[in-house]
């Protein structure tokens, strides 16, 4: 049996989008309560009954969230223009080697706006 496991994380951060068009509201400093969904996919282990240990995903995310929470995202290397598209790819790059079967990262900046990234 193959299954997908998804774990959710949250953090608070400020940002500006310096490459947004002149006059766009996102060029101003603003903040979000971000939600990040990390999904791994694989065969369910017949002994444990799971695809991947939730604790391992949390362990991989802990230092990343510590780096981002209550910060100005533009100061983080690789997030100088922190659109949710760029952030989703950035999370993928940080997690890919630590989370076997990583298949999707979703970054929500509001309850109605999110970006789905599948590593391509």
Catalytic residues: 26, 70, 109
Alpha-carbon distance of 46 to 68, in angstroms, equals: 37
CA 117 to chain centre: 9
């Amino acid at each position: 049996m193959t299954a997908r496991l998804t774990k959710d994380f949250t953090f608070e951060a400020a940002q500006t989008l310096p490459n947004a068009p002149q006059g766009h509201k996102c060029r101003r400093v603003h903040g979000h309560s971000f939600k990040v969904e990390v999904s791994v996919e694989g065969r369910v282990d017949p002994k444990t009954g799971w695809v991947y240990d939730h604790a391992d995903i949390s362990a991989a995310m802990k230092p990343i969230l510590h780096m981002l929470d209550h910060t100005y995202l533009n100061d983080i290397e690789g997030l100088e223009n922190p659109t949710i598209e760029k952030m989703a790819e950035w999370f993928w790059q940080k997690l890919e080697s630590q989370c076997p079967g990583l298949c999707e990262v979703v970054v929500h900046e509001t309850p109605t706006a999110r970006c789905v990234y599948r590593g391509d």
